[in-house]
Amino acid sequence: VSSSPSLVPSTTADLLPSASPSPAAIAAALEDWNREMPAASVSIDPDVLRALSRDYAPLCPAGTPAALIRPSSTDEVSTALRIAHRHRIPVVPQGARTGMSGGANALDGCLLLSLERMKRILAIDTLEQTGTVQPGVVNAEFSRAVAEQGLFYPPDPSSWEFSTLGGNAATNAGGLCCVKYGVTADFVRALEVVLADGTVIRTGRSTAKGVAGYDLTRLFTGSEGTLGVITELTLSLRPAAQAPLTAVAFFPRLGAAGAAVTSFMAGGARPSLLELMDRTSIEVVSGYRDFGFPQGTEAALIAQSDAGPQAAREDLARFAECAETQDGEVVIADDPAEGRLLLEARRSVGFATERLGAFLSEDVCVPRARLVELVEGFQGIAAEYRLTTTCCGHAGDGNMHPTLVFDPDDADEVDRAHRAFDRVMELGLGLGGTITGEHGVGVLKREWLARELGPDSLRLQHGLKALFDPTGILNPGKVLTVRQP
């Protein structure tokens, strides 16, 4: 595969099916929205629109939206879409815009459809062990609410204090606990979705089991706003987990930490968390708070087991053995507060990296056996392109976030970041991995998705998009290119 800095589209013109909507179409849509929707939900304030026009991903183009609608109910979402459909206005659904792939970025002349006002927890059912929520509920708020009922919602992206459950479902978010419990899709039992023309459908089931028909719930989960707008979610819950035990190991080389992960998992381990941080990640979080990391360490592995007091101790003893074989120095956190502090350190890497400059957080997932090659390969790419980088991630899943830091005002550095990004994608695919373990494709990785899937599978994906969104108004140009190659 040849590496080219042009694989990420440079303008939003590449994202729209044809030209942006005409001023007449936008004016007609605005007239209808203003007539049929509550006045407070519609905004055309340019400052507001500009502030909401992009997510967390740099290098991705963002256009100038025509309007913002913040609906409060499914009916209002349906009305907004029906009108957009009538006037062929592209619609970009938005949660908290913490996405890392440009999926929530505006297109020229689009409607931004923010779900942030739909933030009610509708029910927590302890018998069915489910929670039903509107899409704008923030992950951590829901997790805390179900914990009060003795239940547990495992999917926990590092952004859990900010990102919404609707956004988590739309991206099929992963997180720290996924190594044991699975990703968001494993917990989505049913959805209410508004289709492109405003039709409201329900997918999935209210029962513990059910296999009637094709699994549309799974299809919408991870569809990044390109097939429908999620307006309600029923999420499976588990009984509260046992209090976890935590250990941390410090390594003299990044590759040694990767090797410890491989041997630990190969021994049949099922930790509830296994996270890796490289030296720069440790330095960047230590810059804003003392998390107790020793000076000069090249990598840290944080492991948790919630298998119950005795079994967890045995899990961590096996972890210590694997780490020590790789020259790791292991500390068992006897005090639960120490364990929580270590997790806070890991969760802080993303936001702390902002202090270094603009950053592109990658999301490659490889088979666990290739983890060492991934992290060492990334070190080589960072050196070759002379970029500051961090590398942390969900090592137990083989899902790492090699991150490129650059100065957006330095054209040469931006160019090197583009090239390094393409090399990371090549590296991941070359190791038998995927271009995205959890952040999604968005705008950033459309071309790489085509390479990962191959032409036959890609054709089917375009067919699905055309079936659900025949006029192409739903988040066009995201995930798939607007025209079938």
Ligand X SMILES: Cc1cc2nc3c(=O)[nH]c(=O)nc-3n(C[C@H](O)[C@H](O)[C@H](O)COP(=O)(O)OP(=O)(O)OC[C@H]3O[C@@H](n4cnc5c(N)ncnc54)[C@H](O)[C@@H]3O)c2cc1C
The CA-based angle 375-380-381, given to 5 degrees, is 95
Length of the chain: 485
Task: Write down the least CB distance from residue 339 to ligand X, Å.
Answer: 18
Task: Write down the least CB distance from residue 255 to ligand X, Å.
Answer: 23
Rounded CA separation 160/142 (Å): 10
What is the 3 state secondary structure string of 394-448? EHHHCEEEEEEEECCCCHHHHHHHHHHHHHHHHHHHHCCCECCCCCCCCCCCHHH
**Amino acid type, 400:** M
Residues that bind ligand X (CB under 6 A): 55-56, 92-100, 103-104, 115, 135, 157-159, 163-164, 166-168, 170-171, 173-175, 224-225, 229-230, 350-351, 438-439, 475, 478
Asked if 438 and 173 count as a contact pair (C-beta separation under 8 A), the reply is yes
Task: Write down the least CB distance from residue 115 to ligand X, Å.
Answer: 4
**Amino acid type, 271:** P
Q: Select 297 or 403, whichever has its Cβ closest to ligand X.
A: 403
Rounded CA separation 24/364 (Å): 43
**Amino acid type, 29:** A
For residue 244, the cross-strand partners are: none
Burial call 404-439: b when 16+ CB within 10 Å, e when fewer: bbbeeeeeebbebbbbbbbbbbbbbbebebbbbbbb
Q: Select 175 or 396, whichever has its Cβ closest to ligand X.
A: 175
The CA-based angle 372-399-461, given to 5 degrees, is 125
Q: Select 179 or 450, whichever has its Cβ closest to ligand X.
A: 179
Rounded CA separation 359/338 (Å): 29
Task: Write down the least CB distance from residue 1 to ligand X, Å.
Answer: 25
Task: Write down the least CB distance from residue 270 to ligand X, Å.
Answer: 19
Task: Write down the least CB distance from residue 92 to ligand X, Å.
Answer: 6
Task: Write down the least CB distance from residue 165 to ligand X, Å.
Answer: 8
Task: Write down the least CB distance from residue 231 to ligand X, Å.
Answer: 7
Closest CA to 233 of 204, 213, 211, 210: 204
Q: Select 385 or 468, whichever has its Cβ closest to ligand X.
A: 468
Q: Select 197 or 327, whichever has its Cβ closest to ligand X.
A: 197
Q: Select 51 or 317, whichever has its Cβ closest to ligand X.
A: 51
Contacts of residue 116, defined as CB under 8 A and 6 or more positions apart, other chains included, come to: 70, 94, 95, 96, 136, 164
Q: Select 97 or 418, whichever has its Cβ closest to ligand X.
A: 97
Rounded CA separation 304/442 (Å): 32
> Within its chain, how far is the Cα of 452 from the centroid?
19
Structure tokens at 413: 């550095």
Q: Select 56 or 264, whichever has its Cβ closest to ligand X.
A: 56
Task: Write down the least CB distance from residue 282 to ligand X, Å.
Answer: 16
Q: Select 277 or 320, whichever has its Cβ closest to ligand X.
A: 277
